[in-house]
Amino acid sequence: MIKGDSGDYNLLAKWVGEMNPKDFYLTLEVGVREGYGSHVIMETLKKLNRDHFHIGIDPYGDITYTHVDPQEGMVPRWTDFDGNILYNEDGSFKTPTYPNSMKQTFLSAFKHHENFMLYQLDDYEFFNSFGHGVPVYRKGQKVFMNKYDFVHFDGPHTTKAVLSEALFFAVRSNPGARFVFDDVDTYNMKLIQEALSYYDFYLIGSGEKKKCLEKSTGYKKQ
């Protein structure tokens, strides 16, 4: 079963589905976890009969993430869709874990998503390895692709990490590309929006936990 940890997935599907129609989309999610965000992205494009290739980045292996900007007394913890804090049986806060078994569970449910590649790397490892493009095998050809149309940022939730990710993909994005940021209350989203404005990104939508920015196409819609 593919699971998610945010109540804004209906908005994620909406923002994917409302992208400008084109022949092919290269999409990516930083922080796949249990797979639901990637599932929503691919299912939405599939239902619209839009050709795509989707990439997931997540190291798993019980790697410890910093889920909020460092604050005194702040401990990362899980919440349910309603924002209620989850506890262990002993009453302690339930903290995020990303075991390899989680990866295997969602991969078994992704059998019908043939246009998907998971890179079991952290974000910086991906940057260093694929800054010049990702090899995509489709229609009998190997093509290096380096221009993204949709990126969902749901990995480490610190301003430093999210800003680094956003800037990496900003210079590798097509006109009309959309960036969706999750859990925007855990880092300085205002700073990230300001930085992305230099790459012609502007805010087009907000949810309880997510924000969506779009890159200008260079012309005004009528």
Mean pLDDT of 188-196: 97
pLDDT at 181 over 70: yes
Structure tokens at 119: 């890179």
Bigger pLDDT: 31 vs 181: 181
> How many other C-beta atoms can be found within 10 angstroms of the C-beta atom of residue 202?
11
Nearest to 29 by CA among 164, 181, 146: 181
N-terminal to C-terminal alpha carbon distance within the chain: 42
Mean pLDDT of 70-88: 56
pLDDT at 216 over 80: yes
Beta pairing, strands 25-30 & 148-153: parallel
Identify the sign of the CA torsion 23, 29, 35, 36: negative
Q: Which of 30-39, 77-86, 97-106, 115-124 has the lowest mean pLDDT?
A: 77-86
Kindly report, residue by residue over 136-159, the tens digit of the pLDDT: 988 888 999 999 999 999 988 889
Structure tokens at 142: 């190997």
pLDDT of res. 78: 55
- Is residue 10 within 8 A of residue 133, CB to CB? The reply is no
Structure tokens at 163: 């800003």
pLDDT of res. 130: 95
pLDDT of res. 68: 63
Give the domains, in start order, of the chain with CATH numbers: 9-215 (3.40.50.150)
CA dist 84 and 121 (Å) reads 30
Q: Which of 7-21, 41-55, 88-102 has the lowest mean pLDDT?
A: 88-102
* Prediction pTM value: 0.83
The whole-chain average pLDDT of the chain stands at 83
Burial class of residue 105 in the structure, from the number of CB atoms within 10 Å of its CB (0-12 exposed, 13-18 middle, 19+ buried) = middle
pLDDT at 87 over 50: yes
